[in-house]
Amino acid sequence: MRLIPHAFGLAAAALFATTTLCTPSFAADPAPAAAAAPAKPADPNAVVATVNGEKITLSDVQTAMISLPPQMRQLPPNLIFPMLVNQLADQKAILITAQKEGLDKKPETQQMMVNASNTALQNAWLSEQVMPHLTDDAVKQYYDQNYAGKPAEKEVHARHILVKTEAEANDVIKKLKAGADFGKLAAEVSTDKGSAQQNGGDLGWFKKTDMIPAFSDAAFAMKKGEISSTPVKSQYGYHVIQVLDTRTDPVPTLDAVRDKIRQALIQKYVREAVDKATNQVKIVRFDPNTGKPLADAPAPAAAPKK
């Protein structure tokens, strides 16, 4: 099992990638240079290691522990603690060496340091704006408004062959009626290479709103096993559709969509926070060629559905 803290950055990830946690049978034999985990609550300022006299404290280790993925934090402290101490010592050694070699004086390094500092500050501000709103009550309210009491939705499992012209689509329909294999034919002629090459045109299960109207209207009007008798035209070309199955998707429970709702709320609250920040400043955009101010550009249109 590899211990890779996701908040330590590239250097830490690289170091952790070469370090493997000992198994429980070796738990009594930690790395020689590492301290054992404290048996009882200790002073956060207690020194657990030094590198050229620079201190690494228990608080530093505790902060590193918080940065670990949840499953890693479940491991016994006598496994994680010495690993983190060694890891922090390695990082400190890299930092001291980089400073000694003057890497921190290079303009490109200084710019990266500024960028990292700015990113940390932005994330800290966004967290303060978003997290207080991300409550169980907010999740429940979103569920009640968007899931609870809604009728069960019909879903269709279909595959398609997409071609450029109506004549090509009619030729595909003719071949299918003569017994051609749908998947093989999709791989040969469909311009939707993403679905055709690996899945024989299979699009999986989808709701009516997941697809463009022309495609959905045709697919949801068909029965299981049916192949469209005439080409279905859309902005992408001409489709030949086969409905593989249909089902009714029940309303999910709150627990089943809790994470999905949290992500939706995070996006909503982040957008509100960004709008709050931009409304308090004056933003002027310039044409890089002329140096003249530009009129405010309209918001980009939503990407078309597939």
The pLDDT value recorded for residue 96 is 96
Q: How many other C-beta atoms are found inside a 10 Å radius of the C-beta of residue 64?
A: 22
What is the reported pTM? 0.58
Asked if the structure places residue 211 within a domain, the reply is: yes
| Cα→Cα distances 188→75, 172, 181, 199, 243, Å | 51, 11, 11, 12, 20
Q: Are residues 98 and 115 in the same domain?
A: no
H helices of 131-201, in order, are 136-146, 166-177, 182-189, 193-199
Share of the chain above pLDDT 90, in %: 73
Q: Are residues 146 and 255 in the same domain?
A: yes
Asked if the structure places residue 1 within a domain, the reply is: no
The pLDDT value recorded for residue 288 is 92
Find the Cα–Cα–Cα–Cα dihedral 287, 288, 289, 295, rounded to 10°.
0
Distance CA 43, CA 40 (A): 10
Asked if the structure places residue 75 within a domain, the reply is: yes
The pLDDT value recorded for residue 36 is 59
Question: Which residue, among 288, 306, 61, 91, has the nearest Cα to 195 in the 3D structure?
Answer: 306
Q: Are residues 233 and 173 in the same domain?
A: yes
How many domains, the chain? 3
Share of the chain above pLDDT 70, in %: 83
Average pLDDT estimate for 113-135:
96
Q: Are residues 85 and 112 in the same domain?
A: no
Asked if the structure places residue 199 within a domain, the reply is: yes
Task: State the pairing for strand pair 202-207/47-51.
Answer: unpaired
Confidence of residue 40 (pLDDT cuts 50, 70, 90): low
Q: Are residues 215 and 95 in the same domain?
A: no
Q: Are residues 218 and 243 in the same domain?
A: yes
> By residue range, what is the domain housing residue 205?
153-249
Q: Are 272 and 284 in contact (CB under 8 A)?
A: no
| Cα→Cα distances 144→148, 207, 209, 210, 246, Å | 5, 20, 20, 22, 27
Q: Are residues 243 and 208 in the same domain?
A: yes
